[in-house]
Amino acid sequence: MHKAPRGTFDILPPEHAYWKYVEEKATSLCQLYGYQPLSTPIFEDAQLFTKTVAGGTDIVDKEMYIFEDKSGQELALRAELTAPVCRAYLEHGLFNLAQPVKLYYIGPAFRYERPQFGRYRQHHQFGFEALGEADPALDAEVIEMSRQFFYSLGLSRFSIQLNSIGCKLCRPGYLEVLRQHYSSYTDHLCPDCKARLVKNPLRLLDCKKTSCQKIAKTAPKIPDYLCPECQLHFQSVQKYLGAMSIPFQLNHRLVRGLDYYTRTVFEVEPREKRGQSTLGGGGRYDNLIESLGGKPTPAVGFAAGLERIILNLKNRKLDIPALPKPDAFIAYLEEEAKIEAMKIASELRKAGIAVIIATGDKSLRGQMRQANSLGSAYALILGEQEISNQNIILRDMRTGEQKPIPLAEIARMLKQGQK
RNA sequence: GUGAGCGUAGCCCAGUGGUUAAGGCGCCAGGUUGUGGCCCUGGAGAUCGUGGGUUCAAAUCCCACCGUUCACCCCA
């Protein structure tokens, strides 16, 4: 027996109620803020990720699905979607449009990791990106929009963690100071942190080990080492957030996993934490487009994991609209009525009525059971008598009331019932 | 990559060495020769994750593998 590959899963119809709900909230949010949809391929040139997300991060070093196609071209299943969006922005000359260009996406991303709570090898991201504008007001708007997204879903028990990690001018200086601070404690560091010291020093700050946290507490804080421009930008973001009454927590230990971030970084953290809990995160990436061969182009964006959102919706036991049920179920007796029923079903569907017709020549009782379990609003019953009278029985499945309706009027009656 | 827990019908699960592996949900049929939901009756559905071992005897004990869940790492 075949199974879905490790870390992947099928989304069965009942589950799709959640997915539809989240996707509809996401698209209407984007409409509200002026973001337009963009779809990019599931796989890309591997270099698109290795160059941008950058070596030193686990995503590139060990988690990418990389393969050669038959021509020897090195491809990768997309590990995230910001780089593909930037690639499309450059490829199609979107920098010629009025800036910023605001785009959103919903789709799968792939990382080869050990699956666990809220973490999968194929997961789905909803994200939006504003390209071509450096204004800190846009950072604030992206954060506000992220917050509105979760509120519109009915999720409000989260905090927004905010930090600035500087730019290519000021960050190297900070990293140097940070390394110096840690180099005097190397004997007390956990093995992971020893590796981080050389590989990814920013990550030292959020190690969970208590011994390492002691050292992190006394570590120099990045906001104290920002250059004047980054400082002003960071303050402006906070000013605009304040103006919109968006609560946030400054967290100087917040860093993001991807290497391309500059200045503003933020994460949405649920109050009730469990394992992989971050609902979403984002920030500014002013160097990414240039590193892909474009002109220096500032940009800011956000991405959320749909699986984690849905886990939270279930956890909060929020009522999610059910998937639509059929308007009518057609039951029949004997072959002559079946032929007529097929004809009626076809005509009703042309009139925009969702119809399921009984199949398999079950007893009428069996057909009615099926109508019930499908949740059909009405049952239509066709037998010899009805055919000779040119009518059909319309049964309201909720009340159990039923009466014969002339065949010519049945579509109109059901249309009324739809509303 | 490291560590821990768990694998019994589609789903939830009882069963810790001894007859045909129990129950609930769901599914199918009948009770109503043309009518669903409630109720009653019956039925189908399980190589007890896979392979090996211990034993007269294994779902049950041991080993390996696979899968899965959780944690670390990392991230959405």
User: How many domains, chain A?
Assistant: 2
Same domain, A251 and A106: yes
What DSSP character marks residue A322? P
Pull the structure tokens for residue A228: 């004047």
At residue A125, the pLDDT reads 96
And the tokens for A190? 């956990």
* Structural domain of A334: 328-414
Residues of chain A with pLDDT under 50: none
Give yes or no: residues A22 and A85 share one domain.
yes
Whether residues A388 and A274 fall in one domain = no
Does residue A231 share a domain with residue A376?
no
Residues A65, A46: Cα–Cα separation, whole Å: 9
What is the model's pLDDT at position A197? 84
CATH of the domain at A74: 3.30.930.10
Both A136 and A94 in a single domain? yes
Query: Largest alpha-carbon pair distance within chain A?
Result: 96
Please tell me whether residues A61 and A133 are part of one structural domain: yes
Residue A371's nearest nucleotide, by CA–C1', is B36
- Residue A398 sits in the same domain as residue A310: no
Report if residue A323 sits inside a domain.
no
Task: Choose the final residue of a domain: A266, A284, A315.
Answer: A315
Q: Are residues A310 and A380 in the same domain?
A: no
Asked if residue A156 belongs to a domain, the reply is: yes
Residue indicated by tokens 């796989």: A43
Protein footprint on strand B: which nucleotides are under 7 Å from a CB? 1-3, 26-32, 34-37, 67-76
- Of A290, A315, A340, the one marking the end of a domain is A315
Q: Is residue A66 part of a domain?
A: yes
A122 CB below 7 A from strand B atoms: no
Is A119 in contact with A113 (CB distance < 8 Å)? Answer: yes
- Cα gap A368→A375, rounded to integer Å: 11
Instruction: Please provide residue A207's backbone torsions phi and psi, each rounded to the nearest 5 degrees.
Output: -65, 140
Strand B: which residues 135-174 of A lie within 7 A (CB)?
Answer: none
Same domain, A262 and A378: no
| Å between CA of A1 and C1' of B61 | 29
In a domain, A371, yes or no: yes
A282 in any annotated domain: yes
Is A401 inside any structural domain? yes
Q: Is the CB of A362 under 7 A from strand B?
A: yes
| Residue A198 belongs to some domain of the structure | no
* Nucleic strand B near CB of residue A213 (< 7 Å): no
What is the per-residue pLDDT for A275?
65
Q: Can you give the pLDDT at residue A223?
A: 92
- Tell me which protein residue sits closest to nucleotide B76, measuring alpha carbon to C1': A305
User: Residue A241, exposed/middle/buried by CB under 10 A (0-12, 13-18, 19+)?
Assistant: buried
Final residue in a domain of this structure, among A280, A315, A350 = A315
- The reply to whether A229 Cβ lies less than 7 angstroms from strand B is no
- Asked if A417 and A378 touch (Cβ cutoff 8 Å), the reply is yes
Task: Kindly report the CATH number assigned to the domain that includes residue A333.
Answer: 3.40.50.800
A307 in the same domain as A332: no
Nearest nucleotide to the CA of A308, by C1', is: B76
Distance of CA A219 to the CA centre of its chain: 35
Please check whether residue A6 is in contact with residue A116, taking contact to mean a CB–CB distance below 8 angstroms.
no
Å from A209 (CA) to B37 (C1')?
57
- Predicted confidence at residue A108, as pLDDT, reads 95
Interatomic CA–C1' length for residue A268 and nucleotide B10, angstroms:
37
Q: Is the ipTM of this complex over 0.85?
A: yes
Residue A114 CA and nucleotide B51 C1' are separated, in Å, by 25
Distance A5 CA to B55 C1' (A): 38
Same domain assignment for residues A76 and A160? yes
Tell if A207 CB is < 7 Å from nucleic strand B: yes
What is the per-residue DSSP string for A175-220?
Answer: HHHHHHHHHTTGGGS-HHHHHHHHH-GGGGGG---HHHHHHHHTSP
Tokens describing residue A209: 């080990």
Q: What is the pLDDT of residue A276?
A: 65
In a domain, A211, yes or no: no
Chain CA centroid to CA A367, Å:
40
Co-location of A356 and A310 in the same domain: no
Is A365 near strand B, with its CB below 7 A from some atom of it?
Answer: yes
What single DSSP character describes residue A119? B
Work out if A59's Cβ lies within 7 angstroms of strand B: yes
* Strand B and A235 CB separated by under 7 Å: no
How far apart (Å, rounded) are the C-alpha atoms in residues A119 and A379? 44
CA A78 to C1' B62 (Å) is 45
Per-residue CA distances from A283 to A36, A257, A305 (Å): 19, 11, 15
